[in-house]
Chains A and B, each alone.
Chain A
Amino acid sequence: MSNNFKAEAEKTIIVERLVKNFELIEKKDGILNSFLSIVAPKKKSITALKDISFTIDQGELIGFIGPNGAGKTTTLKILSGLLYPTSGFTQVLGFTPWDRKPEFLKEISLVMGQKNQLWWDLPAIETLKLNQAIYELSDSVFRRNLNELTDLLEVGKLLNTQVRQLSLGQRMRLELIASLLHSPKVLFLDEPTLGLDVVAQQKVRDFIFDYNRRNKATIILTSHNMDDLIDLAKRVIVIDKGEILFDGNLQKLVEEFAKEKVIKLYFSKNTDIKKLEEIGKIKRINLPQVILAVPREVAAIAASEILQNFPVADLTVEEEPIEDVIRRVFKGEITRKEKRLLKPKASDE
């Protein structure tokens, strides 16, 4: 066995040059156009993923971030075998996902915030028992996993309640149990905290963290909830318009994409704050403290200017908070172009 092959076999997920095109049928409004679209459908092809590549090791917990329609869910659907890609190579646990081999499907799980597999009219325990049969779990394994999961998510008392009578948060936690009963080695979580209140979100987050550590499970998480990402993911992959813009440590993301630095000032006496606006954007005033955002490349100059012209007691220069950077990722403000523009400017400094 060559070294190269060995290294590849150790990767849990390998994605190479993955492309996915969708065909859409355009429909204009109005009755006439409805008829026209039946007679002569106008097809439009959109590229959901253009040529993306990444690899993930066993036990990694990765955050997948990007604005709506960036291609996150499409990627997860391909990795879990729901979609056939247009081209490219994909391997998960050594399997090609869309062959949907039972041995593969027994090792993975895809949890989607807006999808439900629990039978609406039955208590959750019935669905769980059905899953026990489907995944061929022995009674002892089933009991052990079920007890563990119900304890962690604190839903032991809800198992015998008809699912339609549960609240969204309770249902989501039971959905998680149904998806994890077979202890998958690879877990795809699409918006797992969607629609949950803060307490329930925290429970789910703690649980994901714990599950990742305990089972050495590989987890890919997409979320629009910043706390999910900051708490859980060490490595993030930023994707927009079907392209990977960034792949690496969460801290690195900030260093690479933060356009601004934050200057925190404490004034020693009252002064004309308006003049500060010439130097940077005032973000918050809470005298004697003022928080100021300045372009990254001029941060040092701005700081010395302030020190010279204002009665300053204390001054710190900080990185833009992670939240702000991620917020800009969601807004789709981070693009490749910006990356190219930013770098030469930074070296000018």
Chain B
Amino acid sequence: MWRVRNMFQIFLVFFLWDTIFANSQRIVFGYDRQKMLTYIFGLIIVRALVLSSKANEVGGDISRGDIINLLLKPISYVKYWLTRDLSSKGINLIFAVFETILLYFILRPDFFLQGNILLLLSFATSIVLAILIYFLLLFTIGLVPFWVPESAWGISFLMLVVVEFLSGALFPLDILPVSVQSIINFTPFPYLLFFPLQIYLGKVGTLIMLRGIGVSFLWLGVLWLLMRSVWFKGLKSYQAYGR
């Protein structure tokens, strides 16, 4: 069902920007009509790859105590969720491709196709990094119920709202004031959606692109270490109540 919601969201954003760019010569915030619409359409695919996730259920799994089943088995809890996460992305990707084709025929926008192989490869790299960063973010947040079992839903929801806003899911981040942008660029969030799409659209120079990928790697490392330390601390204080 959330895919239907997704479709409506896309419609909404599409028509909003379509109206703004009613005059096709107009350039707003450095986007012409074609690139803005490609951004919106690219969002469908990139969202399906990055933001569709199973790891947001980790918190519930822990607070309900279902985690016990997995702790008793000779498998890694992190890898278990990563696998579920990836398979969920696979399913979502299939739907997203289908939707994109459908919307393409309904809305008939003119697309911007990136031809530069190097940029496409960088795009792919940034997507993989984004997937892993997002997984680690959700997973680590999902471990909070080890200490505060009742927080499972609220904290994941807060996370989703922040991600939605700061990742560029609603609007391209470069329409924000430069000072705000430079702060956001230190967080892991823009590297989830906005940054990969910028690479695809060819809107960033090589230097900024390399810096962005570097920052992503840095965040990946930091989040990995954070996740591990939280995991082991969590297991120690886990009380496995009730069950």
- Chain A residues close to B by CB (< 8 Å): 22, 77, 80-84, 98, 100, 102-103, 105-106, 108-110, 112, 114-115, 117, 131, 134-135
CA distance A80 to B74 in the complex (A): 12
Q: Quick check: which of B2-10, B160-168, B209-217, B234-242 contacts chain A, the rest being far away?
A: B234-242
Which listed residue (B68, B74, B75) contacts A82, Cβ 8 A? B68
- The reply to whether B238 and A105 form a contact with Cβ atoms under 8 Å apart is no
Q: Are B69 and A134 within 8 A (Cβ)?
A: no
Which of B65, B74, B238 contacts A83 (CB under 8 A)? B238
Interface membership of B183, Cβ < 8 A:
no
Contact check, A109 vs B243: say whether CB atoms are below 8 A apart: no
Nearest CB in chain A: distance from B209 CB, A: 40
Q: Are B74 and A117 interface neighbours, CB within 8 A? A: no
User: Residues of A contacting B238 with CB < 8 Å?
Assistant: 82-84
Whether A134 and B74, one on each chain, are in contact in the complex, defined by CB atoms closer than 8 angstroms, is yes
Does A135 contact B74, Cβ atoms closer than 8 Å? yes
Report B73-105 residues with CB < 8 Å from chain A CB. 73-75
Q: Does B71 have its Cβ within 8 Å of any Cβ on chain A? A: yes
The smallest beta-carbon distance between A117 and chain B, in angstroms, is 4
Chain B residues closer than 8 Å to A134, beta-carbon distance: 73-75
* A178 (CB) vs chain B CBs: closest residue: B69
A-B contact pairs, 23 of them (CB 8 A): A22-B239, A82-B71, A82-B72, A82-B240, A84-B235, A84-B236, A84-B238, A102-B74, A105-B72, A105-B73, A106-B74, A109-B72, A110-B68, A110-B72, A112-B243, A114-B243, A115-B65, A115-B69, A115-B243, A131-B73, A134-B73, A134-B74, A134-B75
Residues of B within 8 A of A102 (CB): 74-75
- B contact residues around A114 at 8 Å (CB): 243
**Are A117's CB and B69's CB within 8 A?**
yes
Q: How far is the CA of A264 from the CA of B238 in the complex (A)?
A: 53
B58 → chain A closest CB, angstroms: 17
Alpha-carbon gap, A109 to B69, bound state (A): 10
Give chain A residues whose Cβ lies under 8 Å from the Cβ of B236: 84
Q: Is the CB of B69 within 8 A of A83?
A: no
User: Shortest CB–CB separation between residue A260 and chain B, in angstroms?
Assistant: 37
**Nearest chain B residue, comparing its CB with the CB of A117:** B69
Q: How many residues of B contact A (CB 8 A)?
A: 14
Neighbouring B residues of A110 by C-beta, 8 Å: 68, 72
Chain B nearest CB from A172 CB (Å) reads: 15
A128 to chain B, nearest CB (A): 13
Query: Contacts A105-B74, A134-B73, A134-B75 given: A83-B68 contact, CB under 8 Å?
Result: no
CA distance A115 to B235 in the complex (A): 19
- A117 to B73 Cα, complex, angstroms: 11
* CB-based contact A83/B243 at 8 Å: no
Q: Which of A22, A100, A106, A131 contacts B71 (CB 8 A)?
A: A100
| Cα separation A81 to B71 with both chains bound (whole Å) | 8
**Are B72 and A80 touching (Cβ within 8 A)?**
yes
Q: Contacts of B239 on A, CB cut-off 8 Å?
A: 22, 83
Q: How far is the CA of A22 from the CA of B241 in the complex (A)?
A: 10
8 interchain residue pairs of minimum CB distance: A102-B74, A105-B74, A117-B69, A82-B240, A84-B236, A115-B243, A106-B74, A134-B73
Complex Cα spacing A114 to B65, Å: 11
Quick one: which of B65, B71, B72, B236 has the most chain A CB within 10 A?
Answer: B72
Nearest chain B residue, comparing its CB with the CB of A190: B243
A187 to B177, CA, bound (A): 62
Which chain B positions have C-beta within 8 A of A22?
239
Besides A82-B68, A82-B72, A106-B74, 11 new A-B residue pairs in contact (Cβ under 8 A), listed by A number: A22-B239, A81-B72, A82-B71, A83-B239, A103-B74, A109-B72, A110-B72, A114-B243, A115-B65, A115-B68, A135-B73
Q: With the chains together, A22 CA to B72 CA distance in Å?
A: 21
Taken together as a complex, chains A and B put the C-alpha atoms of A83 and B73 apart, in Å, by: 14
B115-155 interface with A by 8 A CB criterion:
none
User: With A and B bound together, what is the CA distance between A83 and B183 in angstroms?
Assistant: 41
Give CA–CA (A110, B73) in the complex, Å.
Answer: 10
In the complex, chain B residues 197-243 whose Cβ is within 8 Å of any chain A Cβ: 235-236, 238-240, 243
Point out the residues of chain B lying under 8 angstroms from A108, CB to CB.
72
CB-based nearest A residue for B239 = A22
CB-based nearest B residue for A107? B74
Q: Provide the bound-state CA to CA distance between A145 and B221, in Å.
A: 43
Interface centre among B65, B71, B236 (most CB of A within 10 A): B71
- Chain B residue nearest to A103 (CB atoms) is B74
Chain B residues positioned under 8 Å from A100 (CB to CB): 71
Determine the chain A residues whose CB is within 8 A of the CB of B243 once the complex forms: 112, 114-115
Q: Which residues of B contact A82 (CB under 8 A)?
A: 68, 71-72, 238, 240
B105 to chain A, nearest CB (A): 34
A176 to chain B, nearest CB (A): 14
